Amino acid sequence: MIRDVLIIEAEASVADSLTSALSGCGLGSRVTADGKAGLDMAQEARPEAIILCAELPRMSGYSICAKLKKDPELKNIPLVFTSAEASESTFEHHKKLKVRADDY
């Protein structure tokens, strides 16, 4: 069972909702609103899963996804991509890329 989820989400209310939902399922989480900090946290802490928002300060979620999925030590971490602004067609295009999230 997954116990450690990294949430990289710019909107505090969304991050709070995700944290609460995960906690209700018995899962722990760490949260950051900053893209660069999120990438650093993933590299240092090696979470068991990542929830990643596309719209982030300092580094976009798309860039973070690419970096995570190209890293041999991080590429197998399940990654769920979220967005308040991306259209379904944006995610459909992203799904066709070589480095992509596990779910959207």
User: pLDDT tens digits, residue range 5-25?
Assistant: 999 999 999 999 999 999 999
Confidence of residue 3 (pLDDT cuts 50, 70, 90): confident
* DSSP string for 54-100: S--SSS-HHHHHHHHHHSTTTTTS-EEEE-SS--HHHHHHHHTSSS-
Percentage of the chain surpassing pLDDT 70? 88
| In contact, 3 and 27? CB cutoff 8 Å | yes
> For residue 86, is pLDDT > 80?
no
The pLDDT of residue 27 is 93
Distance, in Å, from the CA atom of 31 to the CA atom of 42, rounded to the nearest integer, reads 11
Angle 32-103-2 (CA atoms, 0-180°, nearest 5)?
60
